[in-house]
Structure 1
């Protein structure tokens, strides 16, 4: 949807109704933005989601997500830095308040000679450029060796042999932040929430969408339909050759009070050579995960198109613990998590019996940034 012209005499006519499919971070933030804009004051806004909120297998709902401007792309780094300003607002009713955001610092590392090193170097240069001439100068420090990384992480082990720490980055309680966002949307009294599983789009012509059809054959029509459906989008739109949803490794381990106290002061650790990251624990749960290409779940289904050709197609469809309560991280991913823990903690974590693991389909993102 194009932005309306600021010229009052422009011919922009806002839609009379907008339907948003999905109440994750993109769906809720879109609804919140629209509800606050005067141009849409007479527009009916509806959100439909297949689950009650918060969705237990939505990629926006989790114990934690990294909050950082530390990206290799300059434009994206600048955008994330803008979002970071909101996360750092710590009033009890503000996004970052009441423990929703923790500024632990981020140690971004790589192994010399690996494919991940250029990313870390570019990210380092970007955050230095963003901080230049601002009060934030001096909050980013180069780590030139494994020993410097070890001293920075303070967990007894090491990971990578070159990188830096940005002391202004951190992590968010993802679920608590989403609950906060939902309350902001509800407070506008402009948005209607519905529960229903969208099985297909409704087309008035070969290229014009007029709404959605639910699994019970109910039709919901709107002038504008917005899909904020994350990894489920390929079930509604033919995205072959454009993008593919993958399942990512997220693992959790119960830790003791002493381990919680010892690890709570560590920075977020993200290794761009291995893709492994560790987030400081909260409530005696330590999260270890991997950002990577992920796993696919090929599924044959009718082609999601008004004129399907072929009639059936194979897509990567999300498979979560709601579909299979026994779902477990593939052995390869589990071993990678063990290796990351052994590298981070010199005393080692092998043999722990109280581990809890899940695998969740998502969009290969380890962050939530609200803009």
Structure 2
């Protein structure tokens, strides 16, 4: 979740959605994202809307956060009306959600269930720093209804973690995976980052090996992005560290795909691999396939029926609005049919399920992409265009050409 909020149209204090936004509500998958904006320290590469204790200031606290978030859950129910809307996925992200007591996360989840109901088999996930949990914490989450956990591993090499300013030790993620399995978690993800300055191919292979050996059923691997305003960007600007190289990143991606495939993982989105269809992150698939979701928390984004809005950024301003009984939304936009078509193409083409070939209206671009080996047509998927391995490396540029 980027720390800078975009401009947009004003939102009424009631938070009521514009006319037509609720049309078809309940016919599309519906989920909740809960943003927990707290971290012990700020990682050098991070541009997310998060706050350490020294950055938080007056008017907000970890101790009161669950109560405040539950107020927004109640407001969501009021704004969305009484339509039957069972929640299919809930995702707690951050920040570090597991800096809150497990009981607080369970309370927020319970409020979502009370107001909306959870669909049978709902996926309930939280992100976690491996150092911020222990067996008792994970058991309390599992007993409270969580069934998926995502650990931020990033790397297995100490010198790479130092560059990223990550606050955990190599080896701890593997222990955290084992503890999650022992607590009864059905699905466990490890997040990795590649192309960190100073990382070698061997470092990257070691990180992948450590992740695979830990036994998750899902791995996410992202190329490091140097965001303006971060400490990492400042260090690169001063010449202390080299800028990540695109060709190196492409090589690292190929290494990841080969090693993960050999270990029984299959890609289903450009940066995500799972050992089975059941292990795929259903919450992210809801985003990628045009579902509806309500984002709880400061800076959180929501989308319902083609209307997208985002909350005020600072936890104190967020808490103040909810305490006053008004919407915490900062601004919103109503997507045009053209906007929605572009976003659908941009997101769905990144999936292994592909995009309907007949709906791609740039025939010359499609023909060139097929000839260049960036796309292939899968007859058994009823003529859907699917990215090849080479196409995954150039997915962003290809989508730009197709829109």
TM over 0.5: no
Structure with greater proportional helix content:
2
Structure with greater proportional strand content:
1
Bigger relative contact order, structure 1 or 2 (CA pairs below 8 A, ≥6 apart): 1
TM norm structure 2: 0.28
TM norm structure 1: 0.30
